[in-house]
Structure 1
Amino acid sequence: MLKLGNLSGAALLACLPVGAAWAQGPVSGVVTDARTGTALPSATILLDGTPVGTTDVSGAYALPAVPAGAHELRVSFLGYETLKRRVQGQPDAQQLSLSLQPTAVLTGEAVVTATRANERTATAYTNVSKEELARRNFGQDLPFLLDQTPSVVVNSDAGAGVGYTDIRIRGTSNTGINMTINGVPLNDAESHGSFLVNLPDLASSVNSLQIQRGVGTSQNGGAAFGASINISTLDNRREAYAETQNTYGSFNTWKNNVQFGTGLVGKYFTFDGRLSRIASDGYVNRGASDLKSYYFAAGYQQKNTLLKFITFSGREKTYQSWNGVPEFALTGNRALMQQFIDNGELSAAEAARALQEGRRFSHYTYDNQTDNYQQNHYQLHLSQGIGEDWNVGAALHLTRGFGYYESYRTRRKFADYGLPNFVLGDTTITRTNLVDRKWLDNYFYGGTFALNYQPRDNDKLQATVGGAWNRFTNDHYGEVIWAQYASTGNTRQRYYANDADKTDYNGYARATWQVLPRLGVYGDVQLRHIEYNISGVEDEQNDVTTHVKYTFFNPKAGATFILARGQQLYASYAVGQREPVRSDFTDRPAGDVSAKAERLEDFEGGYRLSLPDADWLGPRTAVRFEANYFYMKYRNQLVATGQLNDVGTALRTNVGRSYRTGLELTGAVSANDKIGLSSTLTLSRNRIQNYRNVIYDADYNMLVDDVARTTTISYSPAAVSAHTLEGQPLKGLRLALLYKTVSRQYLDNTASRERSLKPYQVLDLRVRYSIRPQFVKEIELGLLVNNVLNQKYVNNGYTYGYPDAAGRQQTFNWYFPQATRNVLASVGVKF
């Protein structure tokens, strides 16, 4: 029956009023096609605008407890008119079956349906609704809003969740996580990273989001090597609205936005917009962020046609925090501090300042040591119904990105910047202090399409054929904008330049077929071709010219079996292949072999249980549980070495054979929609086989271990859990406790405890209280207390080292400490 979404519960059980439950009663029924009587599985159910789940494979739903009084029950399903029905809460059980009429107007979901997984695709996935994101959104970046989903670990350079943040799923960083917005790739074509700092407050414009773990279904853009995150902003709101959210909190953190929508204008048009600003000083000293963004959409819909133009943009200015904090600043170890000084990692003055500032130390002091970048997105979407059973979705897109890092450099050689030495009389000066800028100037454009087949009178077969063509061009260059000693160079002396272009096109076909009432099968094949070219020199005057081509064939197959009402088994096999990123070519040490493409074989299998009426646990109790086993077998996986390049990008190396295997457990229980607990636990084993560690001596000669061994993959914790206890002790008041645990992570692939991140646990408290006065639709007050227990924890870092003159290994660890206890308070108004 009903698949429950976020289940509510009280943070403080003693606060629950017991009398209110007397007037509550269950409501259940079946959702069908009004024309054919066919059941509609996975229809979305909302009560008073809050998602409470979806129908099961037989179209059945059940609400275990509807409070006394009048309520609005809303049911929506792709290709059908949304149905609204008034229901009255009463003690006795009610049967309410609902029939949906096929719509004459396509919805925005028709455009993104080709990229979504469902119960028939035999994959592990989590759906996150607009309402769930809104409850979590106090202005922190999108990864922090997904922290409670399975197998997720997040981190923040500046320590407070604003600015540069990252997300790892199953130990894979965002370079291995495919991200799309409305089916358009978001990952940078060269680095494969998704830099959400360029799109601040994107979460406020998201109407639905799906995380697929593992390879998942075929997506546009780079392959998913750990997961994919599919974002949709295509919701059409037919009623006019205006709202604003405003947050203020620790570290002078601000979030302000306004949103508006016209609803239907002239029966066919809709217009929606948002303006946002997020600013923070950061937990780390001088770790400030100043982020601005806008979103605007104009839509036209009539009968079987939906046309929508969307533009959104973000501009960020962040103080560079990617160097992190040296280990001795956290421990106070003065002997280790001296090692940093003796080996030239820090000057004596810098080391003294690090010891004084402690875990909030920032390496840079130049007042404009900043990252400045702007990214403008333009999308044009068309969805066209073709008869009763077919629809096609197509999109054209353009992304324009440009910006620079500005850095103060000390004692740099003129020759390294293509400048002659400075001569004053008989004195020749070969070095100078200077300020440089490293520029990116790029365009990403192309088109995507998907032809969907979903017969109205027979839901046994669903099929999609789709593909995309995308092209990316990027100019990389550096300029000297100031030097202490003026040479004969030009203003904005350009000291390096290289350009890159990448063409990526793919085609895929997939289908689900309900062979028997209980048995369904799934198939998916993708063919992808990439051509990538770099020409020119990098900042160290090394030639980075590269010309590579790749063609990948990626098959996927799966099956589902219904054990009983609310119970399902599933299993799948999928292949993913992915090209190396830019830094895998440009930052390889001399003598290292060329980077190889990666291959992943992903085996997934699991069990799902959804019981909305588990009265054997207590009156009006609902239960949801899922167990998913995964085995991800890699060939030539590119794993992090623990080192960073000069702009904070993780350096990686190919390892011949490796694997990730584990069990993901997710469960939730709720009673009377008043108290609920949801939990997720991932236990995994992440290993490299026959690994030989590589280090470099003082002369940068490569040294390789003589003995090969099995070791743990870097940044891959063996245990990750998240738990949410949530409830509504009073009408309009929702309390939630959020608890996160992450086990030890290793900074490199040696499994050395000396180069690792300690396990940590974090507890957060969230409070939201809403009222509905007569003069506005709603006023909501919110409070988020992060790290309630004031833990001093670290969730990211990097390492490097080399032997000293006596042959002793020197190790240098740098960490990214996260904020101690901090608070964000918000006020939201809906007009």
Structure 2
Amino acid sequence: MKNIFLFLTLLVLSVSASAQQNQVQQDSTKTENLDEVLVKAVRVDGDSPITHSNVSKEELAKRNLGQDIPVLLNFLPSVVTTSDAGAGIGYTGIRVRGTDATRVNVTINGIPYNDPESQGTFWVNLGDFASSTESLQLQRGVGTSTNGSGAFGASLNLLTDAFSEDASGEISNSFGSFGTRKHTVKLSTGLLNDHFEISGRFSKINSDGYVDRAFTDLRSYFIQGVYKDDNTLIKALTFGNTEQTYQSWFGLTADQLQENRRQNPYTYENETDNYWQDHYQLHWNERFDNNWSMNLGLNYTKGKGYFEQFEDDIDDISLYNGIVLPTDIRVDEDEDGNPVDVPITDVIRRRWLDNNFYVLNANLTYKKNTLEIISGLSYSSYDGDHFGEVIWAKQFSENGNIRDRYYEGDATKNDFSIFSKATFKLSEKFTGYIDLQGRFVSYKTNGLNSDRDVFVTDADFSFFNPKVGLTFKNNDFNSFYGSYGRANREPNRDDFEAGVTENETLNDIELGWRYNREKVSVNTNLYYMFYENQLVLTGELDDVGSPIRATSGKSFRLGLEVDANIQFCKAFSTSTNVALSTNKNKNFNTTINGELVDLGNTNISFSPELVIGNALNFFPVENIQLSILSKYVGEQYMGNIDNESSKLSSYFVNDFNINYEIKTNKLFKAIVLSGLVNNIFNKKYVSNGYFGSFDFDDTTSPTGTTTGYFSGFYPQATTNFLLGATLKF
């Protein structure tokens, strides 16, 4: 595998060198923004054969009134978002092309953000991060090589605030439904002595949630120091967040949804999630000349926290290893059918995570005329402790104490990747793209898991992930592209606990057409993503609300995406995107009524066949924008067996957004007033849920067993509003 990778890397360099020799020998006069070098290795430009969407700081600011980044990206192609608490603040999720958040590779300034073990992204730990985001790019499909766990359906890379030439400040406040409020202060010294800048942001977000008691309390910060000259940019930054959220991942049954869609089944007053996370990054960007530049990035992330739960009638005293003394007895039978007394009790427990994450990135870029080569490596090391405490029981045993640990285990994960990618001119109209990555992962665990089962893992993976593409530029307005990419991905912690040890493989073929004129732009692409050993969501949740996955064997996603931007006149524009897809498991097998059944091709869970986003923008006068934002998501199954009780109905939701900027020459440079009315037609809809099955003895069944099913639903907020004001000085 390593020899193949080395051979193909040399091939990239030789092909690129050959292309360079056919060019006119002259130095490029183009210079790059040094801030953008931070993400250059993981981003692509507008002419690349990679399907992508860009979002600027200005676009994010229009709706940045406290909701999480996934909600701000809701209107991008093939994107579906959801919120446990129903109001878009707290635990929110994003799916792209039907792939869940663990498959969306997220980087911040090129640094991996996905949790190395669960592979998930927890936006609740990035409160108000949109206020410190300069731009972001969402790549759909395999995309380009990136750092951390490989993209398996999409990658999202964020670039934090650029340095500011001038001193500035902002005070932002917003208020809205469900007790929502956001308070943000931003300051920048501007460049001091033409070289130094210090900037920062402090934010506080609170919301009571649409769901009863599903509150969110976020406190976050972002501090950055910059040194720059003509060819050097050094950034030292730290950002972090503390969060407390009341649990609302249990959802509602269909009957509860009809009875009171805002109710929360949890009743314990401190059923909360509590987590602290701090990031420290150092970036050195250097432009040696007009052809050569490099980036070195270092990162340390510290995370620690717990969730607290009340559990009644714990009936396995071994779970707590003698820490608690039983207060009641249940009669059961042992393996031989003899009656035994099983002690039961009520407890309050905390399950802790305590982890450290280190990253080193290094990239070197060569660019001359139409040739660009980027080569780099990334190394990350993660260590995490998992342990549980009993903080209350009806009665403790003589040798038990509060905060005694009833389970304890540790995990380490090392991830090393090396890549080389090249873009080069083949002729006047054809541009080639080659991207080769080798990724090497080791994962080890020891100790007990939360079920007090021995959990020991020692796994190593070596992946080769090639991508190739070709762009044909017919004229100044039309271009066509095609690409093929291959990605491999290791199981996450929960998969290993479930006995899954094989990696997944994704092959992605993309064909696209781009049309771009002054007032009209259209992007159209056709994709075919076919998998081996894809880990699909079963629909079920574990005891902490995390989705359970299972290997489906062979499967595929076939789709067509179209997005268009049209400026009809100075006062009116529209942005529309449509995604049509079919997503299938092949020859899917499952057990029903005690028998193994081949269901043939079934729909992959949480993969709607139709997703539409639309924005109608009206500019009645200068500095005022009115927008109607619409989202349609077709029906989708929450499981993989096409059971009708697992179906989520389609929904069509509309929001109204207004922005008014008042220019002033007095105390403030500008005053920006913003308003957002979500779900203006008061649609009662559900965007997410869970589904599972259970077997029970049935003498009327030929097999003696009948399978039953259960479903849960996460209701989203009806009509609600957010109003904000930003003072710029």
Give TM-score scaled by structure 2 length. 0.92
Aligned equivalent of 2:541: 644
Instruction: Provide the C-alpha distance between the structure 2 equivalents of 1:327 and 1:808, rounded to a whole number of angstroms.
Output: 21
Contact persistence 1:376–1:399 (CA under 8 A): yes
Residue identity matched to 1:385: R
Aligned equivalent of 1:769: 660
Aligned equivalent of 2:321: 418
Which of 54, 57, 60 pairs up with 1:130?
57
Residue identity matched to 2:379: W
User: How big is the shift at 1:481?
Assistant: 0.7
Identity %: 41
Matched, 1:602 2:508: yes
Which of 583, 603, 625 pairs up with 1:686?
583
Instruction: Provide the C-alpha distance between the structure 1 equivalents of 2:292 and 2:598, rounded to a whole number of angstroms.
Output: 59
Which of 753, 773, 784 pairs up with 2:644?
753
Contact persistence 2:327–2:395 (CA under 8 A): no
* Alpha carbons of structure 1 residues 412 and 266: separation in structure 2 relative to 1, 3 Å: same
Contact persistence 2:329–2:343 (CA under 8 A): no
Deviations 1:290-347 (A, max 9, x none): 011000000111232211101000111000111111121124xxxxxxxxxxxxxxxx
Q: Structure 1: which 4+ aligned runs deviate by more than 6 Å?
A: 35-40, 423-429
Which of 584, 587, 594 pairs up with 2:495?
584
Deviations 1:200-233 (A, max 9, x none): 0000000010000000000000111110001001
Aligned residues: 686
Contact persistence 1:415–1:421 (CA under 8 A): no
User: How big is the shift at 1:705?
Assistant: 2.5
Aligned equivalent of 1:782: 674
Matched, 1:521 2:432: yes
Contact persistence 1:120–1:512 (CA under 8 A): no
Matched, 1:629 2:520: no
Residue identity matched to 2:677: V
Aligned equivalent of 1:228: 155
* Equivalent position SS for 1:121: coil
Contact persistence 1:260–1:274 (CA under 8 A): yes
* Alpha carbons of structure 1 residues 704 and 770: separation in structure 2 relative to 1, 3 Å: farther
Contact persistence 2:636–2:650 (CA under 8 A): yes
Aligned equivalent of 2:119: 192
Which of 362, 371, 374 pairs up with 2:276?
374
User: How big is the shift at 1:121?
Assistant: 2.7
* Alpha carbons of structure 1 residues 270 and 808: separation in structure 2 relative to 1, 3 Å: same
Aligned equivalent of 1:454: 367
Which of 646, 650, 656 pairs up with 2:553?
656
1:50-449 counterparts in 2 under 5 A?
Answer: 78-79=32-33, 107-331=34-258, 355=259, 358-413=260-315, 414-419=317-322, 422=325, 430-449=343-362
Aligned equivalent of 1:553: 464
User: How big is the shift at 1:36?
Assistant: 7.7
Matched, 1:804 2:714: no
Deviations 1:415-449 (A, max 9, x none): 32111663899999922211110000000002001
Contact persistence 2:387–2:409 (CA under 8 A): yes
Instruction: Provide the C-alpha distance between the structure 1 equivalents of 2:475 and 2:230, rounded to a whole number of angstroms.
Output: 39
* Alpha carbons of structure 1 residues 531 and 38: separation in structure 2 relative to 1, 3 Å: closer
* Equivalent position SS for 1:549: strand
Aligned equivalent of 1:485: 395
In the alignment, structure 2 segments of 5+ residues that lack a partner are 1-24, 331-340, 699-704
Residue identity matched to 1:284: V
* Equivalent position SS for 2:75: coil
Instruction: Provide the C-alpha distance between the structure 2 equivalents of 1:261 and 1:753, rounded to a whole number of angstroms.
Output: 55
User: How big is the shift at 1:542?
Assistant: 1.2
Residue identity matched to 1:202: F
Instruction: Provide the C-alpha distance between the structure 2 equivalents of 1:312 and 1:504, rounded to a whole number of angstroms.
Output: 23
Deviations 1:713-772 (A, max 9, x none): 000000000000002102221100001000011010012222111000000000111111
| Larger mean Cα displacement after TM superposition, 632-641 or 531-540 | 531-540
Which of 462, 467, 471 pairs up with 2:377?
467
Which of 662, 673, 686 pairs up with 1:794?
686
Instruction: Provide the C-alpha distance between the structure 1 equivalents of 2:239 and 2:29, rounded to a whole number of angstroms.
Output: 38
Contact persistence 1:460–1:515 (CA under 8 A): no
* Alpha carbons of structure 1 residues 433 and 509: separation in structure 2 relative to 1, 3 Å: same
Instruction: Provide the C-alpha distance between the structure 2 equivalents of 1:771 and 1:690, rounded to a whole number of angstroms.
Output: 60
Give TM-score scaled by structure 1 length. 0.81
* Alpha carbons of structure 1 residues 37 and 397: separation in structure 2 relative to 1, 3 Å: closer
* Alpha carbons of structure 1 residues 692 and 426: separation in structure 2 relative to 1, 3 Å: closer
User: How big is the shift at 1:37?
Assistant: 10
Aligned equivalent of 2:728: 830
| Larger mean Cα displacement after TM superposition, 623-632 or 422-431 | 422-431
Instruction: Provide the C-alpha distance between the structure 2 equivalents of 1:554 and 1:539, rounded to a whole number of angstroms.
Output: 35
Instruction: Provide the C-alpha distance between the structure 1 equivalents of 2:618 and 2:353, rounded to a whole number of angstroms.
Output: 47
Instruction: Provide the C-alpha distance between the structure 2 equivalents of 1:328 and 1:255, rounded to a whole number of angstroms.
Output: 35
Contact persistence 1:477–1:496 (CA under 8 A): yes
* Alpha carbons of structure 1 residues 829 and 483: separation in structure 2 relative to 1, 3 Å: same
User: How big is the shift at 1:268?
Assistant: 0.8
Contact persistence 1:317–1:371 (CA under 8 A): yes
User: How big is the shift at 1:111?
Assistant: 2.1
Residue identity matched to 1:542: D
Which of 719, 725, 733 pairs up with 2:624?
733
* Alpha carbons of structure 1 residues 424 and 770: separation in structure 2 relative to 1, 3 Å: closer
Residue identity matched to 1:784: L
Contact persistence 1:785–1:824 (CA under 8 A): yes
User: How big is the shift at 1:388?
Assistant: 2.9
CA RMSD of aligned residues (A): 1.9
Instruction: Provide the C-alpha distance between the structure 2 equivalents of 1:707 and 1:523, rounded to a whole number of angstroms.
Output: 40
User: How big is the shift at 1:466?
Assistant: 0.6
User: How big is the shift at 1:367?
Assistant: 1.1
Residue identity matched to 2:466: P
Contact persistence 1:607–1:626 (CA under 8 A): yes
* Equivalent position SS for 1:705: strand
* Equivalent position SS for 1:571: strand
In the alignment, structure 1 segments of 5+ residues that lack a partner are 1-34, 41-76, 80-106, 332-354, 613-621, 698-702
Deviations 1:20-56 (A, max 9, x none): xxxxxxxxxxxxxxx989796xxxxxxxxxxxxxxxx
Aligned equivalent of 2:567: 670
